[in-house]
Amino acid sequence: MEVLTKEEVFSHKDKIKKEILKGAIFIYPTDTIYGIGCNALDDRAIFRIRELKNREEKPFSVIAPSKKWILDNCMITDENWLNNLPGPYTFVMELKKKKAVSKNVNPGIKTLGVRIPNNWFSDFVEYLGVPVVTTSVNKTGEIYMTSLEDCDNDIKHNVNYIFYEGEKKGKPSTLVIFGKDKIEVRER
């Protein structure tokens, strides 16, 4: 496990990108809390995150590489909501293209949670060019990570990278669920 600052991530971006595309798992900052993720097309890496979190079938969300990716791969009933991105929202939408993410991201369901956080890490995801799994850094049912000090040791020692920018004082993102007839907003 290697702890890197924003500057170190961008100065080694090519090496880190290759490792992520080959299955590296990492902890990263968002505009809300810290997330744990991997390439959302990599079944094996997704399975490793499920094991670390003790989270079997519950779906994960992804950080999209761009708004265009969202439009190409998801059915958004009101595109005006895209004006809120980047921001502290997770949009839950029907997936248009099943191969946009691994079937292990959202097993057995037709919707996908999608984010673009207002944080430098979103620029890195755009550089990666693939969606990234996004879920809180914690074992299922336990408190989520706000700093290195409160990161679960088992998780901390089983990731390849921690992209760290100090303590986070946020809360999980607001859910915006796009139904066929209505849009539901849920604070978490």
Q: Which residue has the tokens 């809120």?
A: 84
DSSP per-residue string spanning 64-88? -S-HHHHHHHEE-S-GGGGGG-SSS
State the amino acid at position 102 in one-letter form. S
Predicted confidence (pLDDT) at residue 181 exceeds the cutoff of 90: no
**Cβ atoms within 10 Å, residue 12:** 14
Q: What is the CA radius of gyration of the chain?
A: 15
Whether the Cβ atoms of residue 21 and residue 128 lie closer than 8 Å to each other:
yes
Q: Which domain holds residue 34?
A: 2-186
Share of the chain above pLDDT 90, in %: 84
pLDDT of residue 35: 95
pLDDT of residue 186: 86
The domain spanning residue 151 has which CATH number? Answer: 3.90.870.10
More confident residue, 22 or 143: 22
Whether the Cβ atoms of residue 115 and residue 90 lie closer than 8 Å to each other:
yes
What's the pLDDT band for 120 if we cut at 50, 70, 90? very high
Quick one: which of 139, 119, 137 has its CA closest to 26?
A: 137
Task: Give how many domains the chain has, as a whole number.
Answer: 1
Share of the chain above pLDDT 70, in %: 100
State the amino acid at position 161 in one-letter form. Y
Predicted confidence (pLDDT) at residue 188 exceeds the cutoff of 80: no
CA 28 to chain centre: 9
pLDDT in tens, 29-86: 999 899 999 999 999 999 999 999 998 889 999 999 999 999 999 999 899 999 999 9
Average pLDDT over the chain reads 94
The mean pLDDT value for 114-129 works out to 97
What's the pLDDT band for 164 if we cut at 50, 70, 90? very high
The mean pLDDT value for 107-113 works out to 92
Whether the Cβ atoms of residue 67 and residue 73 lie closer than 8 Å to each other:
no
pTM of the model: 0.93
